[in-house]
Amino acid sequence: MDKVLIVDNDQETLNKIEKGFKDLHHFELLTAWDGETALDLLSKNKIAVFITAVNLSKVHGVELIAFMTRKRPGTPCIVMVDEDTPKPWFRGRNSNENVLYYIQKPFQFGNLASAIFVAQNLKDEGLSRNGVTLRDFLPMIEMSRQTCRLDVTSGGQKKGYFYFDRGILLNAHFEHLSGEQAAREMVKWDRTSIYLSELPKEKSKKVIKVELMEIADALWGKPRKAGERNHPPEPQPQPAPPAHETKLQSQLNRYVNMLRTIKGYKGISILTPDGAVLATDTVNEPIDFKYFAAAFNKMLTHCQQTIYQKGFDKCTGLTVHTAKGLILMMSSDVMKEGNFRFLVLMESDGNAYFMQVQLAKIIPSILQTK
Same domain, yes or no: 214 and 255 = no
Would you state the pLDDT for residue 243?
42
- In sign, the C-alpha dihedral spanning 48, 16, 247, 279 is negative
CA–CA dist 368, 370 (Å, integer): 6
Would you state the pLDDT for residue 369?
55
Residue 235 lies inside a defined structural domain of this protein: no
Band of residue 238 on the pLDDT scale cut at 50, 70, 90: very low
What does the pLDDT average to over 232-258?
62
Q: Under a CB-based contact definition with an 8 Å cutoff, are residues 134 and 152 in contact?
A: yes
Would you state the pLDDT for residue 180?
96
Give me the chain's average pLDDT, please: 85
Residue 168 lies inside a defined structural domain of this protein: yes
- Whole-model pTM: value is 0.69
Same domain, yes or no: 266 and 149 = no
Same domain, yes or no: 94 and 182 = yes
The number of folded domains in the chain is: 2
At residue 234, does pLDDT exceed 50? no
pLDDT one-digit tens code per residue, 54-109: 999 899 999 999 999 999 999 999 999 998 888 998 887 655 567 899 999 888 77
CA–CA dist 205, 280 (Å, integer): 61
At residue 230, does pLDDT exceed 60? no
Same domain, yes or no: 278 and 186 = no
Same domain, yes or no: 184 and 60 = yes
Same domain, yes or no: 13 and 110 = yes
What does the pLDDT average to over 15-21?
81
Residue 239 lies inside a defined structural domain of this protein: no
Same domain, yes or no: 279 and 341 = yes
pLDDT one-digit tens code per residue, 347-369: 998 888 888 888 888 888 888 75
Band of residue 35 on the pLDDT scale cut at 50, 70, 90: very high
Would you state the pLDDT for residue 93?
64
Band of residue 240 on the pLDDT scale cut at 50, 70, 90: very low
Among 220, 240, 272, residue at a domain's last position = 220
Residue 228 lies inside a defined structural domain of this protein: no
Q: Under a CB-based contact definition with an 8 Å cutoff, are residues 99 and 122 in contact?
A: yes
Same domain, yes or no: 111 and 185 = yes
> What residues make up the domain containing 333?
249-366
Band of residue 304 on the pLDDT scale cut at 50, 70, 90: confident
Which of 291 and 7 is assigned the larger pLDDT? 7
